[in-house]
């Protein structure tokens, strides 16, 4: 494994964490709270545990960086954005549908659509930045 995977993963972690805060923690916070069934102790309040959250973002960012660099040859912002959406949307949909099947947490299916769109936006930008970094750090072949 090379340095560009690690650099892209670290930058991707920062981008994903920041976008996650802005999208889910600020823009959609009241919508998500209003459209999920609230149980005492369900959510950690007032803040989530930051270390597991950062590590989760790093795990996704590292996976993207590895796939982009080693398997998919992603070297551009657009390529990273498309790859980010391609990876994240089915995962988000699968997880949300499992929650819908097994848990009594969503008030309506609308939450799933909003979540998947938010995940698509977040991962398109994150994947784009990571693809750009990998491309800039890749040896030039001419």
36 DSSP 8-state letter:
B
Residue 31, number of CB atoms within 10 A of its CB:
15
Residue 52's domain comprises 3-137
Tokens of 110: 């609308």
Does 93 reside within a domain?
Answer: yes
Q: Give tens-digit pLDDT for 75-120.
A: 999 999 999 999 999 999 999 999 999 999 999 999 999 999 999 9
Q: Quick one: the chain helix, strand, coil %, rounded to 5?
A: 75, 0, 25
Cα(65)–Cα(128) distance, rounded to whole angstroms?
A: 11
Does 16 reside within a domain?
Answer: yes
Sign for the CA dihedral angle at 112, 113, 114, 118 comes to positive
Query: Which residue in the block uniquely carries the two structure tokens 């930051």?
Result: 50
pLDDT at 105: 93
pTM of the model: 0.94
In sequence order, the 6+-apart residues with CB closer than 8 A to the CB of 102 are: none
The count of domains in the chain is: 1
Q: Give tens-digit pLDDT for 4-15.
A: 999 999 999 999
Does 142 reside within a domain?
Answer: no
């Amino acid at each position: 494994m090379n340095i560009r995977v690690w650099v892209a993963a670290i930058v991707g972690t920062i981008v994903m964490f920041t976008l996650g805060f802005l999208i889910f923690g600020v823009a959609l916070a009241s919508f998500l709270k209003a459209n999920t069934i609230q149980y005492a102790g369900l959510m950690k309040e007032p803040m989530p545990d930051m270390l597991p959250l950062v590590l989760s973002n790093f795990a996704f960012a590292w996976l993207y960086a590895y796939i982009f660099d080693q398997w998919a040859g992603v070297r551009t912002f657009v390529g990273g954005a498309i790859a980010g959406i391609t990876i994240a949307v089915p995962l988000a949909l699968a997880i949300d549908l499992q929650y819908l099947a097994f848990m009594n947490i969503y008030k309506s299916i609308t939450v799933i659509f909003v979540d998947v769109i938010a995940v698509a936006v977040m991962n398109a930008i994150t994947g784009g930045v990571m693809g750009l970094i990998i491309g800039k750090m890749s040896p030039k072949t001419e």
